[in-house]
Amino acid sequence: MILTFNTCDFIDDSPCGVHETQDIYILGSSIVDTANGYYYSYMNNNERVFQWGKIIEGICTEEHVTSEFRVALLDETTTGISARGRVSWQFLYENNITMSKNGSDIKGSGSTGLKQAFDGKEGWCVPVVEVYFPTKGSYSLDTVFLKTNVISIESMTKYRKF
């Protein structure tokens, strides 16, 4: 019996460093905890936007960054809440990630190439997930609505070190 192995599975010929993952997972009442540095809120016309994100530095730009975003809702009947994901870099560029509702989750994923912007140098990006809905009249009422209807927020980004 002859066994053949695909050497591509065993050899990593990438010019990049080790695989890394930034995972922001926020559950329950800590969804609006300002102490962790991931959270921000603002108004966009009549919509309250809650935002979570954190910069990733030291990225090898020879390979794409992949991001997955998830908002877990109270249940599948929850309505009136939307979500969007994006990855921004170098203050000028942005990759918007479409998020769609499926049951009690709003999810989206995509990949982002940073190579052109950083020209072979060490890169950085900021993956962000946002939840938005028509304001309930004040920040405190909007916070209560969010905490009542959203169970968790997750942003997972995979990349290679420079």
Digit-coded pLDDT (tens) for 127-146? 999 999 999 999 999 999 99
Gyration radius of the chain over CA positions: 19
Task: Quickly state the pLDDT bin for 34 (edges 50, 70, 90).
Answer: confident
Please report the pLDDT score of residue 21 as a whole number.
98
Q: How many residues does the chain have?
A: 162
Q: What is the per-residue pLDDT across 54-66, written as a single tens digit (0 to 9) for each?
A: 999 999 999 999 9
pLDDT of the residue at 126: 97
| Confidence grade of residue 115 (pLDDT, cut at 50, 70, 90) | very high
Q: pLDDT band for 10, please (50, 70, 90 cuts).
A: low
Task: Give the confidence band of 109 by pLDDT, cuts at 50, 70, 90.
Answer: very high
DSSP assignment, residue 66?
E
Say what the pTM is. Answer: 0.89
| DSSP H or E stretch at residue 117 | helix 115-118
Residue 122 carries which side chain, given as an amino acid letter? E
CB of 51 closer than 8 Å to CB of 130: yes
**More confident of the two residues 37 and 45:** 45
Burial of residue 87, with CB atoms counted within 10 A of its CB: 0-12 exposed, 13-18 middle, 19 or more buried? buried
Whether residue 8 is predicted with pLDDT greater than 60 in this model: the reply is: no
Place of tokens 């926020």: 26
Residue 5 near residue 150 (C-beta atoms within 8 A): no
The residue whose two tokens read 């049951």 is 103
Distance between CA 75 and CA 46 in Å, rounded?
25
Looking at residue 5, its pLDDT comes to 47
DSSP H/E element including 107? strand 105-112
pLDDT for 69-107, tens place per residue?
999 999 999 999 999 999 999 989 999 999 999 999 999
Q: Are 69 and 107 in contact (CB under 8 A)?
A: yes
Domain ranges of the chain: 15-160
Domain 15-160 has CATH 3.90.105: no
